[in-house]
Structure 1
Amino acid sequence: MANLSRILGPLLGVAAGVLVAGWFMKPTPASLPDTASVVQQMREVARLETLQVSLYKKVTFTPEPEATDALWKDVVNWARHTLQNPHGRAIVFADAHLGFDFQRIGPSSLHVVGTKVQVVLPPVDVRVELRPGETEVIDSNLDSTQTAQLLEKAKVAFERDVRADSRLQQRARDSAERSLRVLLLTLGYREVLFVEKLPSTGTAG
């Protein structure tokens, strides 16, 4: 048994090496799809939902204290200048969806050289949906119309929060890159790079 192990050990190592080498030395596909075809397949994804996060914010719309969050000052200032003796507070819940609209991708978003492709993603698309069933407006002197206005301003403030959050933006981008890399590798490309700007020279395939 020991002799058999000494014989099989090197053979298995060689076989594994051959398999790995074979993977990296796979022949290049006879032809890669042209840029227009690649763009069309990317557009068929339509909108890639890459990240969803749940949000909530406590908002006090009395004259004091001042709002400490600059992105939410509009909400407090609106209450101060719209209402007489405004008072009350709200706990607003929302879902934020971050994704990419691939209908905005065109041939100018890709740069192909051989089996290498560089891609510029469109801007992250942020969409916020309030959760009115969970939102609470407490001890408030707002009527129904004013409450609706308050919630709409809160929605805008949430969108600003998300757009200003670099970590959420990066998480959404990382997710989109993983999905598109799988698609482009499936189409036959060997190297997929995501860049902020395409090179100014070279030919596009």
Structure 2
Amino acid sequence: MANLSRVLSVLAAAAVGALVAWVLLRPAAPKLPDSATVVEQMREVARLETLDVALYKKVTFTPEPAATDALWKDVLLWASYTLQNPHGRAIVFADAHLGFDFQRFDASHLHASGTRVDVLLPPMEVRVALRPGETEIIDSNLDSAQTAQLLEKARLAFEQEVRQDTRLQEKARQSAERALRGLLLTLGFREVRFVDTLPLGAAG
């Protein structure tokens, strides 16, 4: 009996020692950063994740424009009603930039529960910039001011086209989500979800 008691005591001591060692040596729970730090780092990453798309369009303006594309009809009708016997052709090049407006992103767009975080992305932002060095006006009777107005209308038409292109917007969203998920995982979160709405009262 004495030997059995001794063996049990040794086993109990070993078990306690193993438990103490496990408690002392187990990985510490990740220390998650505060919301302000997360927001700032997400803004920095998002600035690098703008989707850039090169665009071009051949625009023709004549006395009786026949536009089949509703987005560009305004460009052609403007030339028809503004000029006497307007004529000419233009090949317009532009760059479209699609990204999320992270200037409007703050802690109210995040909800962390333990190591899980829900993210409500801000609105998509679309910007279009013409490339005047590559844009070519051909056989035109427009003066410089009229040309500038026509090009601005073309830029707005490009912008409307891009805003209605769900394929491009989805591509920009996926790119941003990949980059932001990677950032949040490196900050210590284990699960990142992009949601359309946050639970009422859960923001922050």
TM-score (norm 2): 0.80
Count of residues paired in the alignment: 179
Partners of 1:50 and 1:193 lie apart in 2 by: 20
Equivalent residues of 1:87, 1:141 under 8 A apart: yes
In the alignment, the residues of structure 2 paired with residue 28 and residue 159 of structure 1 have an alpha-carbon distance, to the nearest angstrom, of: 50
Indicate yes or no: 2:129 matched with 1:129: yes
Aligned equivalents of 1:43, 1:52: Cα separation in 2: 18
CA deviations over 1:49-84 (Å, ceiling 9, x no partner): 431111011111113342111111111121111111
Establish whether residue 114 from structure 1 lines up as the match of residue 114 from structure 2: yes
- Residue by residue, what CA displacement relative to the aligned partner does 1:70-103 show, whole Å, maximum 9, x if unpaired? 1111111211111111111111011111122322
1:169 to 2:174 alignment = no
Q: Which residue of 1 aligns with 2:15?
A: none
> Larger Rg: 1 or 2?
2
1:148 aligns with 2:132: no
Q: 2:93 corresponds to which residue?
A: 93
Q: Measured at CA, do residues 48 and 198 of structure 1 come closer, stay the same or move farther in structure 2, by a change above 3 Å?
A: farther
Amino acid at match of 1:82: T
Aligned to 2:184: 184
> By how many angstroms is 1:28 displaced?
6.5
Structure 1 gap segments, 5+ residues each:
1-25
Identical counterparts, % of pairs: 74
| Cα 1:176–1:87 shift into 2, 3 Å | same
Letter in 2 for 1:167: R
Q: Which residue of 1 aligns with 2:60?
A: 60
Q: Secondary structure at the match of 2:183?
A: helix
| CA distance 1:36–1:80, change in 2 (3 Å) | same
Deviation of 1:40 (Å) = 2.6
Structure 2: gaps of 5 or more residues: 1-25
Taking structure 1 as the reference length, what is the TM-score of the superposition? 0.80
In 2 relative to 1, CA 154–204 (structure 1 residues): closer, same or farther, beyond 3 Å? closer
Q: Is the CA contact (8 Å cut-off) linking 2:46 and 2:176 kept in structure 1?
A: no
Q: CA RMSD in A?
A: 1.9
